[in-house]
Structure formats: structure tokens, C-alpha cells
């Protein structure tokens, strides 16, 4: 029986040795796995830092763009207000031009006679001026043609077209 005791002690020692071997190989495998996990975590941390930096830059750019858009919207509001004021000014100017146009198209009867006389005098003065200019041109051309031996053709189109007369005032009934 003693042999059985030694055999069982040897089997137990062999079992403990095998358990120790398996534990050591398992620990070595676990250590290699832990090293890989540590490297993966370090790599992921580096990548996350890069992503975080890019996200921060993107956030800063977004903030700058937002501020720029707000400034431009403020400027656009100013332009819009100016356009509204311009519209009011345009309406006022149109009314002024309409009023002036009505005053010119329907003058006071007391001024109409004076305007017709002034128009007649202006027409006569223009006619005299252009006649004198035509005569001077003829003399200049005659002296030029006499020295060159050419004939004076004379132009009659130097007078301006007659001025349009104002219509007679209509009497209101």
C-alpha cells in the first residue's frame, strides 16, 4: 500500500506540475494579449486625440462662420432699411416730378402769353444767328473758292427747325 501512496503522491505532484505549466502558458498568453490590448488602447487614444483636435478646429471654424454670417445678416438688415428709405425717397421724388410736370404742362394763363412771346423772340434770335452764320460761311467759302477757282454751292440747311408752340389754354366751364 505504500506503493499506492507513493504513486498517488507522484500523480498529485505531476498534476500540480501540469497545472503550473498550464497556468504559466496561460499567463504568458494573457500577458501577450494584455500587451496587444495596451498597444490598441494607446493607438486608439492617439487617434481619439487627433479626432478631438479636428473636432475642436471644426467647432472654432463653425463659430467663426457663425459670427461672419451674423455680421453679414446685420449688414443686410442695414441695406434693407436703406432700401426702404430709398423707396420712400423715390415715391417722394416721383410725386415732386409729377407736380412739376403738371405745373409745366398747364402754366398759369398770365404766364402763358409771356412764354409765347419769349418763344417767338428766341425763334427770331436763332433765325438771325443762323442766317448770319450762313452768310459768314458763304463769304468764307467764296473767298476760299475764289482763291482755289471753285464755285460756292451755298447751304440752306443751317436754320434750326421751328419751335413748337404751346397749346392755347382751355377755359374751364
What are the tens digits of pLDDT across the range 81-137?
A: 888 888 888 888 889 888 888 877 777 777 777 878 888 999 999 999 999 999 988
Answer whether residue 25 shows pLDDT above 50. Answer: yes
Tell me how far apart the alpha carbons of residues 67 and 59 are, in angstroms, rounded to a whole number.
Answer: 12
What confidence tens digit (pLDDT) does each residue in 28-56 have? 999 999 999 999 999 999 999 999 999 99
- pLDDT, residue 173, reads 46
Of 128, 126, 107, the closest CA to residue 116 belongs to 107
The whole-model pTM stands at 0.37
More confident residue, 25 or 104: 25
- CA 55 distance to own-chain centroid: 31
Confidence of residue 152 (pLDDT cuts 50, 70, 90): very low
Tell me how far apart the alpha carbons of residues 88 and 82 are, in angstroms, rounded to a whole number.
Answer: 10
Domain definitions of the chain by residue range? 2-106, 109-145
Amino acid at each position: 500500500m505504500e506503493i499506492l501512496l507513493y504513486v498517488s503522491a507522484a500523480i498529485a505532484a505531476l498534476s500540480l506540475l501540469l497545472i503550473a505549466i498550464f497556468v504559466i502558458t496561460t499567463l504568458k498568453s494573457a500577458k501577450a494579449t494584455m500587451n496587444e490590448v495596451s498597444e490598441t488602447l494607446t493607438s486608439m487614444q492617439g487617434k481619439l486625440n487627433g479626432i478631438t483636435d479636428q473636432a475642436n478646429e471644426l467647432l472654432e471654424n463653425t463659430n467663426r462662420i457663425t459670427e461672419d454670417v451674423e455680421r453679414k445678416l446685420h449688414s443686410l438688415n442695414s441695406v434693407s432699411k436703406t432700401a426702404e428709405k430709398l423707396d420712400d425717397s423715390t415715391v417722394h421724388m416721383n410725386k415732386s416730378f409729377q407736380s412739376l410736370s403738371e405745373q409745366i404742362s398747364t402754366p398759369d394763363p398770365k404766364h402763358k402769353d409771356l412764354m409765347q412771346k419769349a418763344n417767338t423772340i428766341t425763334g427770331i434770335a436763332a433765325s438771325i444767328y443762323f442766317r448770319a452764320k450762313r452768310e459768314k460761311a458763304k463769304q468764307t467759302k467764296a473767298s476760299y473758292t475764289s482763291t482755289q477757282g471753285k464755285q460756292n454751292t451755298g447751304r440752306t440747311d443751317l436754320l434750326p427747325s421751328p419751335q413748337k408752340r404751346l397749346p392755347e389754354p382751355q377755359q374751364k366751364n
